[in-house]
Amino acid sequence: MAKPAAASVAKPRSRIAAWFDHHLHSLVASLGRMLRRPWATLLTVGVMAVALSLPLGLALVLDNVARLGGTVERAREASLFLKPEIPVERARALAATLRTRGDVAEVVVRSPDEGLASLRGGGGADLYADAIAAVGGNPLPSVLIVRPRGDERALLAVLQAVPEADFVQHDAVWRERLDRWLGFGERAVWVLAALLGLGALLVVGNTVRLDIQSRRDEIAVLQSLGATDGFIRRPFLYLGAAYGLVAGALALALLTTAELALRAPLRALADSYGSRFAFAGVDPLQALAVLAAAGALGWLGAGVVTGHFLRQTRI
């Protein structure tokens, strides 16, 4: 009575082993067909890699521009110029009051003497020397340099309403324009990615279609023997996924090469402005996402073409 039980256990195991063996054979056979046609494979993979690298490169540039805009904290500072008759002691008291607000990260008081010393020590001091000498005293007011925490628009309204304020200087226009350009760039990345992704899908589909046409007789024999569509489709799906993975890896290699070529001049440019900004490339998680998306794109292209062919031959 033990033998039937053993047979029933062995049967599912043999089916699983056969299923695994066929998947492995389909994968190896697909890779073999790619290697047997190196020039055609290189052309297909190269076109897909360029199509993938263009939106990826643009997205990488936009991400670094956004990071650069976020690191320039001085651009978010608001300079509160007090009236000339306001003494320094009152300016320091006003600064202490502003520091208690939750939307204020830091307040620096610049006295008239400090402002005059900075003016004399900065570039173009000779241009202001005659004007300062003509005035005879120190005409500069006390200035509060306020660095906001979070959204600065509400804080600007508060600063402008301070009775001791003469005027408030804040360069927020360029930040709004930068945000709008980044929003436009992000939308352009998605549009470009959709168009070039469709192009990569068509490239894979056409390559797989040619491979299907060269194996029409083999597919006809398999169909006459009762092979399912999934059995016939599987090698072509692995072929498309392999094209996508190799193209994704090549696209990452192209982006890395471009990053290495631009790193030195970009660092020199940042140093000339006294910035520590460094270009950030593709991190490992993003690289895995790119490979997964490229593989899925190749799988989808092969699946669409193979499914269309099998539907025509089954009619």
- Domain architecture of the chain: domains with CATH: 25-71+176-314 (no CATH), 78-169 (3.30.70.3040)
Q: What percent of the chain has pLDDT over 70?
A: 77
Q: What is the pLDDT of residue 194?
A: 86
Phi, psi dihedral angles at 276 (to 5 degrees) = -100, 20
| pLDDT exceeds cutoff 60 at 17 | yes
| pLDDT exceeds cutoff 70 at 5 | no
Spacing of C-alpha 51 from chain mean position: 16
Which two structure tokens, joined as six digits, stand for 199? 């192009």
Average pLDDT, the chain: 77
Amino acid at 235: P
Buried b (16+ CB within 10 A) or exposed e, 161-176: eeebbeebebeeeeee
pTM confidence score: 0.60
**Alpha carbons within 13 A on the beta-carbon side of 145:** 11
Classify residue 300 as left (phi > 0), alpha (psi -120 to 50) or beta: alpha
Look at the alpha carbons of 67, 68, 72, 78 in this order and tell me if their dihedral is positive or negative: negative
Which two structure tokens, joined as six digits, stand for 208? 């797989």
Q: What is the pLDDT of residue 76?
A: 65
